[in-house]
Amino acid sequence: MKLGIEPPDHAIGRSRGGLTSKLHMVTDGKGRMLSAVLTAGNINDTTMMAVTLEEIRVPRPGKGRPRVRPDRLLADKGYTSKANRARLAERGIKATIPEKSDQAANRKRKGSAGGRPPAFDSEAYKGRNVVERGFNRLKNWRGLAMRSDKTARNYLAAVQLAASLVWLNASFSNTP
């Protein structure tokens, strides 16, 4: 969701926990937000990967177009699908996404027709906790953790403000 566009549902949907919203976020290797998309809580993670990746714009020092493609993507099981893996491979992005157990069982049940399991680098996946720490930094803001803003536009603006302050704080401190 882009800033300024207000959905009729305000990115609130019913899920197992009640009325919720979901923040899909891409971070850099230091847990700083590169892009974020806000959806209703009942929207599937897998469907939002492409939209979230399209929002990445990292300015280059000096002249040149902004960088829009990460080298590697670390994601949790919620983002695994054949379509996502194909899209990432098409763009030349290395994917480290664990396979869901039901998908692995289905592939094994099909035998040789099920194909090979997707490549998974367990050593690289250990770095995914950086994303969770990025979420935790944002959730240190009580209003973000509780979603106290009524409209999606205001909530996303607060997320972007908090992310900007995280970037500024990282710029002026020596710690990552």
Cβ atoms 1, 39 nearer than 8 A: yes
Of the pLDDT bands very low, low, confident and very high (cuts 50, 70, 90), residue 174 is low
Structure tokens at 21: 């919203």
Q: To the nearest whole number, what is the mean pLDDT of the chain?
A: 86
Of the pLDDT bands very low, low, confident and very high (cuts 50, 70, 90), residue 34 is very high
Q: What are phi and psi of 72, to 5 degrees?
A: -140, 150
Q: What is the pLDDT of residue 105?
A: 87
CATH fold, domain 13-172, is: Nucleotidyltransferase; domain 5 (3.30.420)
Domain boundaries, the chain: 13-172
Between strands 94-96 and 72-74, the pairing is parallel
> Is the predicted pLDDT of residue 175 greater than 70, yes or no?
no
Q: What is the pLDDT of residue 73?
A: 92
Q: Quick one: average pLDDT of 2-28?
A: 77
Q: What is the pLDDT of residue 59?
A: 86
Task: Scan for tokens 């897998």, then name that residue.
Answer: 46
Q: Quick one: average pLDDT of 8-27?
A: 82
Q: For 67-107, what is each residue's pLDDT tens digit?
A: 898 999 999 998 988 899 999 999 999 999 998 888 888 88
The one-letter amino acid code at 66 reads: P
Percent of the chain at pLDDT > 70 equals 93
Q: Give the pTM.
A: 0.80
Residues sharing a CB contact under 8 Å with residue 134, sequence separation 6 or more, in sequence order? 25, 27, 31, 32, 33, 166
Q: For 49-72, what is each residue's pLDDT tens digit?
A: 999 999 999 888 888 899 898 999
Strands, DSSP E only, in the chain?
13-15, 18-27, 33-40, 72-74, 94-96
Of the pLDDT bands very low, low, confident and very high (cuts 50, 70, 90), residue 5 is low
